[in-house]
């Protein structure tokens, strides 16, 4: 991944942040406080310039054609390009189409699923004994 530009851009933006912060804070603060806040402004603008350069470098790297992208430490065979052959498309389409005579030959119509009932009809007295037995424990 490459960054756009060089460290000069960071220093320039940091200096702009320093001057801007200094002039904004000098009217309300003493010189020492204004310089301290300007120094913090320089550091923040300097780091924001790094972030901006990295984002722009990422965007440019992603939008450039694969031939121009840097290959960093990649060996032959590190990337695998798999594509589906186009001559099999017709075979797939033919498999999906219904063939004549297969449509409604053995179909008996719709039969709903009738699952077996899970409710058992036990003697109510046996069930009452079981419930009493469970309540005791």
Q: How far apart are CA 133 and CA 137, in angstroms?
A: 7
Per-residue pLDDT band at 123 (split at 50, 70, 90): confident
Structural domain boundaries in the chain: 7-63
Beta strands in 15-75 (DSSP E): none
Q: Is 111 helix (H, G, I), strand (E, B) or coil?
A: coil
What are the tens digits of pLDDT across the range 2-55? 666 788 888 999 999 999 999 999 888 899 999 999 999 999 999 999 898 888
């Amino acid at each position: 991944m490459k960054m756009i530009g060089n460290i000069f851009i960071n220093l320039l933006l940091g200096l702009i942040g320093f001057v801007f912060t200094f002039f904004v804070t000098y009217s309300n603060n003493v010189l020492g406080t204004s310089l301290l806040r300007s120094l913090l402004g320089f550091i923040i603008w300097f780091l924001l310039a790094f972030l901006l350069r990295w984002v722009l470098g990422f965007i440019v790297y992603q939008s450039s054609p694969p031939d121009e992208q840097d290959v960093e430490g990649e060996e032959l065979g590190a990337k695998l390009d798999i594509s589906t052959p186009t001559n099999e498309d017709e075979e797939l389409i033919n498999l999906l189409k219904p063939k004549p005579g297969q449509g409604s030959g053995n179909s008996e119509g719709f039969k709903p699923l009738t699952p077996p009932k899970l409710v058992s009809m036990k003697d109510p007295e046996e069930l009452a004994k079981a419930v009493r037995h469970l309540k005791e424990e």
